[in-house]
Structures are given as C-alpha cells and as structure tokens.
Chains A and B, each alone.
Chain A
Amino acid sequence: MRILAYVFHRLIILLLAVFGVSIITFIVTRVLPGNPAYLIVGVQADQSTVDAVIDRLGLDKPIFEQYWLYMRQLLLGDLGTSWRTGNPVSFDLSSRWPATLELASIAMILAIMWSIPLGLISSIKKRSFSDYLAKFLSGLGIAIPEFWLATLLILVFFAGFQIAPPPIGRIMLASPPESITGMYIIDSLITSNWESFFASVAQIILPASTLAITIGAPLLRVTRTFMNEVLDSQFIRSARAMGIPKSSIIFRHAFPNVLLPVSTMIAVLYGYLLGGTVLVEFVFSWPGMGKYAIDSINSSDYAPVMAVVVLSATSYLLVYLLTDLLHFVVDPRTR
C-alpha cells in the first residue's frame, strides 16, 4: 500500500519535472531571437512552407495557446520533421536511440567494472598503491576532456598499434545484423551472427572506454568516500568487536550500505550518459542521438535537436524514478 503512495508521489514529481522540461524547451524554441518557423523548416524553405508551419504551430496565436499546442503535439508523439533527412524525427530517432542506448550501457558497465572495485580496495587498503592509483585516476578522469581522450585513444589504438577498427560508426568490417532491438551487439547475439557481433563489439570498445574512464571517475570517488564513512561507522566497529570475519564485514555489512548512494550515482551518471555521449559520438561518428543532434545543428535543422533534448531529459528523469523505486525496495529504512 505504502509503495503505491510512494510511487504516486514520485510520479507527481516526475510529471512536474517533465513539465518544467517542456517549458524550458518551449522557451528555447519559441522565445529565442530568430523566427522559429525558419528554425523548424530550415533556412531554405520558401514562404509558403514557412506560413504553413506558422499556421500549424499557431505562431501567430497568444503565447499560452502556443504552449498548449506545443504540448499537445509532444503528447501525440509528433516530434516534427527533419528537413535535412526528410524523415519524421521520430523515425530517425528509432535508429539513433538504440545506438546511444547501446553505447551508454556498455560504457556504464565498463565504468562500474573498473571504478567500484578500485574504490572499495582503495578505501579498505588505505595508503596502499591502489589507494594512490584510485586518487590519481579519479582526479584525472574528471579533469580530462572527453574529446581529447577520444582523440588520443584513436591515435594510439587505431593509427598507432592498428588494433582498433576505424573509428567510424557502429560497424565497419561486417554488415549489421537484422534489426530486432536496434542494438547491434544484442541483435547479433540473438541471431547468433558472430561476425557482426565481434565487429560491432570491436567497434564499440574505444568510444565506450572513453566514456567509461570519464564516467568512472566520479563513481570511484563516491564509492571511496561512502565506503570510508561506513567503515568508520559504529556498527562496523561493533561487528568487528563481535568477531565477524573481515570478508563478511566488508561484503555483508559494509558494502550493501555503500550500494545505496552508489546506485544513485550510477543512475545520475547513466541518465547523464543518455544525453551526454555527444562528443564521443561526434569523434567516433557514432550514429546516435548526440551525433544526430550535432549534424542537425550544423544544418540549422532544429526539430531534431529539440526532440533529442526532450527525449534524453525525459529518459534521465525516468532512470531517476526507477532508482528511487529500487531504493524503496532495497532499503528497509524507506519502508
């Protein structure tokens, strides 16, 4: 019963946030200088089309009515048309979204794989080598510019050792698997199409690692700080005083307590990734939402940009909601 109330409460907040998002995008699209109609149909459109758009969006109507129309359009899933690709934006996104999702997920997994263990070790073994390594990496990972790191990785692994595939798109040395989820790795697994599986995995390693390094750093920090906090806490001391073996203390008593804040961090980072792979996608010409946005921006084609913004903002909020629910289930204190 309480979970229902809780979910309801969270949903309200979610809706509020989405509402806020829509307002902001609306302002960006409509209130900025320059005729939004042109921003939507593109500079080259002739007057008749512009008028058509002005009419469709009701740009001549009062601002509130405009907003209402805009919202209705969004709710109907009509994200407009890209005059650059000539397709409805929703259609273009149907292939771009999985690409970004795939990249973001792999990156997240890699990040978790390196940063959390290192964070734990560094806080368990104070002043050890791995502790300093962790400090160093977290500092570096936060400070290093993604696009630069990406360039360096390309230099080393593609141009240098020539072990990485060319940094172009999702699959270069094989034909893509037939689309089921739109995520090549998964699709090729389902269809057990090994050739494209390896090809697409090889293709994703560099961009994913780039993100994993930059995303892992804050994750490592959080893990480290909270693990320290927990290890100093009274209940760990008394657990030790009861003669509980170290392994159990770390994994059964301490780690679960760290998991909660860490999972929040993961959610935040993942949500960020869903809209934040732009630069990496740009450098590796990864055909995801980020690149789609940039390409559209470069051809002053604005419908897609706003669609991408709204989509990733919403998915961020959704991810956040999900973690909250997860906590509700995991953490007894919230019950």
Chain B
Amino acid sequence: MRFIKYLFIAYMIVCVNSNIYAKDLVVGIGGDIETFDVCCANFIQSHHALYAVYEPPVIYPTVKTSSGALVGDASDLDGTVFESWKAHSDGLTYTIKIRKGLTLHNGKPINSDLVRYMFERNLNTPGGGAWLLKNIAFVTKPPEIIDDYTIKLTGDKPSPMVMSSMYMTSSSMIDPEIVKEHATSEDPWATKWMTRNIAGGSGPYKLVKHIPDQEIIFEAWDGYKGDKAKIKRMIWKIIPSPAQRALLLKSGVIDIAEGLGEEEFKSLKGADGVKIITAPSGNLIYLGMNSSIPPFNDVQVRRAVSYAVDYNDILKNVYNGDAKRLWGPFSGTNSFSLGSKAGYRTDVAKGRKLLASSSYKGEAVKISIDSSKADRELIAVRIQSSMRSIGMKAEIEKLTPAVYSERKVGKKLQMTIDGMNAWIDDPNYSLSLTLECGVYGNYMDYCNKEVDSIIKNGWAETNLEKRKAMFERAQKLIIDDAPWAFIAQPNFKLAMKEGLGGYVHYANEIPRYHHYYWE
C-alpha cells in the first residue's frame, strides 16, 4: 500500500510540472468519428473533423453581434477557394473564379480540375453532398472548365442557394489521384478507403493520428492561406460518459466538452474556469416514426403517439425549462412557422381512441437512440411511458453513434429521437432536407405528393404571400400526417475552458477549430 502511496505522490509531481496540454486544445467527444469521407458524413462530430482537415470553397463571414458574440452571418457569403462568382441572367449558370496559389496539404495546386472532380464525386456518391447538389442547387452535371482557374457551373432549375449550398463539408477539395489510387471495381469512388483516410485535404489542420475509440490528433497546417490555426496541436479524446467529460472540463484536463446534457450543464454552472456559450438554436428535437415500417405506416398510429407524448413534462424535466416547445417542421424562429397555431397538445384519451381505430396489434416497437447524446435516453424513457399510457409497448435501443447513423441513413430505424438542424433557415431547404419523398435526409421515409409539389414549386415562387400560403398548407399537411412528433427546440450550449477565445457560432452549430486561441 505504501508503494501505491509513493506512486500517487510521484504522479502528483508529474501533474504539477508537466502541464503538457497547456498549449494544445483538448476536446472531449462522446464517440468515435464514423467517417472521414466528405461525401457521406452524418454524425455531427464527423463534420467537426471534416471542417478541420478539409475546406469547402465558401464560408459565412464572421460578424460581431450587439452582445459581442461572434457569429457566421448566414445572409452573406465569402469565398475561400472560390475567389469570386457571377450569376448569369438565366439564373441557372454561374461563372466561378478560383483563387490562385492555393494547394492541398500534399502541395498539389488547387485548380479547375480539382474543383470539377469535387462536383463529379459528389454527384456520384450517395450522401449529403449528392442531395445538396441535386435537391438544393439542382446541379446534376459537373461544371465545364474554362481555364485553369475558371469554371462554369450550370443547374437544371433556378435555385436561390447554389452557392450557399457549397458551404457544407461535402464540397471540400480532395485529391483525384489519391482517390483513384484507392478506387476498386465495386467501389470506383474509394468511399471505403476514405472513411478512414484523408485524400489530400486543404483545411487549417492535418490529421496526424486516429486511434479508433481512443483519440484523434490534429496538427496545424502551416501552408494554410486563410487565417492560420492559432493552436498548433489539437487532441480529441473519446470519452463515452458525458459526466466524465464535464468533470474533466471542470478539472481542467480537457478544454472543450462536446455533447453534454442538461445534467452536465447544471453541474458546470458557476464552476470556475469554465464558461458556457449559449445561443438560440435551429436544432429541432423530434420523435421520428418510420412511415414505411409497420405499425407506423398507419397514420392513425403516428397521430396517436403524437397525442400521447407529454411535451411539457419533457421540456420541464429533461431540459429544465431551457427549451421551447416545437409545434411543427419549422423552427420557431422561422418566419414561415405556424407556431402553436397548429400541432398536437397532449391528450391521452384521444391518443387511445386513435390507436384503437388503428391497425396496431399490440406488438412492441423499438425506439433507437444515439448513446452519445445525453438527453436522448431521458426523453426516450418518458416517451416510452407516455406510449404505455395509450397502450403501446415500446423498447429502447441504445446505439453507438457510428451504428446509429448507419441505421438512420439506411432508413432502418422504426422509431427514433433525433435532432434536425436546418443549416439554412429556409422552408424549402428544411423540408426538402428531411421530408421530401425519398431524399437522403428523409430518415423516417415520409412521403406526401402534395408536400413534394409544394417543395418543387416553392423554389421558384417569388411572391412572399403566396409562398407563405404554400408552406402553411405544407406544414398543415405534415402535422396532420405526423411523420414526427414535434418535441422541443432546446438552446445551443457549449461548455469550454475560461480563456479559450475565438468561438464563432455558425447556423449549423459546427465550430471551426482554427478560430480558437488562448487569451
């Protein structure tokens, strides 16, 4: 025992005079990165990583709000790889100039070929990238090359957000050679290889090491032409327990704790050396019911559940009141939102009646949740008991982030509690992101032809009044079909060490780590 005591002492000494993380940025994350492939990231943490190592061609400019907080201004757009762009009168064509002198990490110059290849790969790999191009920008063919640093991009239909859609990670620069090198006959775009490896990359950080389930290490890239990363080394520690993440932030071992739940924030409130950044969020928490998996293929069942859920209880007990009720598919801040004018209010009796009239046979349904998100389990348990109150049996299934997002994207989840964040606060965008028939992000496989037609026409509609009316109708339809039970809109919260500055809040709530610096 004395021997152990000595070791403790020795260890304390080490702790005191080896403050080896002082310069570095240590981030505690809940689960491992599911993929490094720009085309197909789902797990939010993957996007964090991709923004660090890859670079999309455009970015929202940083502005200071009256409160002094830094935010990415979604109403404007700066070029990073793209120097400038010009929309032609036809509303379909864009001529884009590429900034000269930029290179990938491996020194390969960024030019038209590279940019063209980015479009090409995105169009050919099923994923967020393809969806953005096809469903948002209405681009279905790669741009034509004018010269080494100029390209011409042409869409099929006019879209207001051709350029802004490119601020997503999927539009990042990659090295064609490397991709081709690892392509195989059944995998021509090397998606398998890219899930674990970086093809070129031009972001402010380079991936140094990735030890699955343990840590990911980044180092600043000196060749970066934008404002270089101020913190040279960045270590992401995978710490499954949110409580431990919070505790480690408190004890100063880590500098940022991702994916904390209300419990953790409560415990961190007022802790010295820790600051909590809050911002209103477009993140919509919903209970998804898969319209193509029984019993939820029956709208009555979906409605019944929507009546059963005890919304106020969740707001009160899970979010400690630090969230707004969500009434429909649009966030409360969205000018098109109907707010509480439509939507479900808890009514168990009604729920039971609807269920009785439905095709539900009393079988147990499965609520799948992401084990790295602290609040999900708590919500799930409450919903489970609500469902019991109308006579529905439900089982809860916790999945690791990787598996969860795989099943989700495969549209295999019967029922899930998930967050949806429309990175562009536009009705067209958010609907076609998640509720348009068959789109990539329509995880609950909802389909309503009328809603689809509204989405299609909505893009072109310029008359605001008309557009409002259209989307009012769409919202009513969706609420009536109840593909989701609309639960809550919690505020965005991020806990980090006092003295860590430079955080910029973007609409998609993904930080760019090169902004951070030690005050």
Interfacial residues, chain A to chain B (CB-CB below 8 A): 43-44, 48-49, 84-86, 92, 95, 158-159, 162-169, 172-175, 195, 198-199, 201-202, 205, 209, 285, 287, 291-292, 295, 298-300
Shortest distance between the CB of A305 and any CB in chain B (Å)? 15
Whether the Cβ atoms of A287 and B214 lie closer than 8 Å is yes
B317 at the interface (CB under 8 A from A): no
Given contacts A167-B244, A173-B20, A173-B253, whether A299 and B403 have CB atoms under 8 Å apart is yes
Residue pair A163, B213 in contact (C-beta under 8 Å): no
Contact status of A295 and B213, CB under 8 A, knowing A48-B186, A175-B20: yes
Docked pose: A44 CA to B34 CA in angstroms? 13
Asked whether, in the complex, the Cβ of A298 is within 8 Å of the Cβ of B400, the reply is yes
Residues on B with C-beta less than 8 A from A44 are: 406, 410
Complex contact A169–B403 (CB within 8 A):
no
Q: Does B507 contact A (CB under 8 A)?
A: no
When the two chains form the complex, which single residue of A48, A163, A174 contacts B20, counting CB atoms closer than 8 Å?
Answer: A174
Q: Which of B8-16, B292-300, B454-462, B485-493 contacts A (4 or more CB under 8 A)?
A: B8-16
Minimum C-beta distance from B274 to chain A (A): 16
Whether a CB of chain A sits under 8 angstroms from the CB of B196 is: yes
Give the contacting residue for B247; candidates A84, A159, A174; CB below 8 A.
A159
Is the pair A163, B253 in contact by a Cβ cutoff of 8 Å? Answer: no
With contacts A44-B410, A168-B239, A201-B7 known, is A300 near B403, CB below 8 A? yes
Q: Using Cβ atoms and an 8 Å threshold, which residues of chain B touch A166?
A: 244, 247-248, 251, 253
- Shortest distance between the CB of B207 and any CB in chain A (Å): 14
Closest B residue to A292 using CB positions: B213
Q: Which residues of B contact A209 (CB under 8 A)?
A: 4
A selection of 6 A-B contacts at a CB cut-off of 8 Å is A95-B211, A168-B244, A173-B14, A285-B214, A298-B400, A300-B403
How many Å from the CB of B75 to the closest CB on chain A?
39
Residues in B whose Cβ lies below 8 Å from that of A299: 400, 402-403
> Looking across the interface, which residue of chain B has its beta carbon closest to that of A158?
B247
A86 near B195 with CB under 8 A, answer: yes
Contact of B240 among A84, A202, A205, A285 (CB under 8 A): A285
The verdict on A174 contacting B18 (CB below 8 Å), with A84-B212, A166-B248, A166-B251 known, is: yes
Residues of chain B in range 374-403 having any CB-CB distance to chain A below 8 Å: 399-400, 402-403
A166-B248, A202-B11 known; A173+B402 contact, CB < 8 A: no
* B352: interface (CB < 8 Å): no
* A-contact bits for B170-202, CB 8 A (1 contact / 0 none): 000000000000000010000010011000000
Interface residues of B in 210-227 (CB under 8 A from A): 211-215
A215 to B325, CA, bound (A): 52
B406 lies within 8 A of A198 (CB): no
Q: B407 in the interface, Cβ–Cβ < 8 Å?
A: yes
Interface residues on B, range: 35 or more
Report the Cα distance A159→B192, complex, angstroms: 41
When distances are taken between beta carbons in the complex, the residues of chain B under 8 Å from A84 are 212, 402
B237 adjacent to chain A (CB < 8 Å): yes
Across chains A and B, which 4 residue pairs bring their CB atoms closest together, nearest first? Answer: A202-B11, A86-B196, A85-B212, A198-B14
Residues of chain A lying within 8 A (CB to CB) of residue B20: 173-175, 195
- Interface contacts (Cβ under 8 Å), in number, total 92
Q: Determine the residue in chain A with the shortest Cβ distance to B8.
A: A163
Q: Give the distance to chain B from A51, nearest Cβ to Cβ, in Å.
A: 11
Write the nearest CB–CB distance from A142 to chain B, whole angstroms.
21
Task: Say whether A173 contacts B15, CB under 8 Å.
Answer: yes
Taken together as a complex, chains A and B put the C-alpha atoms of A86 and B238 apart, in Å, by 18
**CB distance B213 to A199 under 8 Å?**
no
Asked if B407 and A173 make an inter-chain contact with CB atoms under 8 angstroms apart, the answer reads no
Contact status A195-B14, CB under 8 Å: yes
Q: Which residue of B11, B253, B406 contacts A43 across the interface (Cβ within 8 Å)?
A: B406
Report how far A199 CA is from B214 CA in the complex, Å.
Answer: 17
- By beta carbon, the residue of chain A nearest B251 is A162
Q: A287 and B213: CB pair below 8 A?
A: yes
Task: Tell me the nearest residue of chain A to B185, going by C-beta.
Answer: A48
* Identity of the chain A residue whose Cβ is nearest the Cβ of B410 in the assembled complex: A44
Residues of B within 8 A of A291 (CB): 213
B237 engages A205 (CB within 8 Å): no
Q: Across the interface, name the chain B residue whose C-beta is closest to A298.
A: B400
In Å, the complex CA distance between A43 and B399 comes to: 13
Q: Does B251 contact A199, Cβ atoms closer than 8 Å?
A: no
Shortest beta-carbon distance, A254 to chain B, in Å?
26
Residues of chain B from 420 to 469 with CB closer than 8 A to chain A in the complex: none
Shortest Cβ distance from A176 into chain B, in angstroms? 10
Chain B residue numbers with a CB within 8 Å of A287 are 211, 213-214
Residues of B contacting A172 in the complex (Cβ-Cβ under 8 angstroms): 253
A95, B8: Cα distance in complex, Å: 26
User: In the complex, what residues of A have CB within 8 A of residue B239's CB?
Assistant: 168, 285
Contacts of A49 in B (CB 8 A): 186
Task: Give A291 to B240 CA distance when docked, in angstroms.
Answer: 12
CA distance A159 to B214 in the complex (A): 21
CA distance A232 to B398 in the complex (A): 57
One digit per residue, 1 when the CB lies within 8 angstroms of any chain A CB and 0 when it does not, for chain B 230-242 equals 0000000111100
* A34 vs B214: C-alpha distance when bound (angstroms): 30
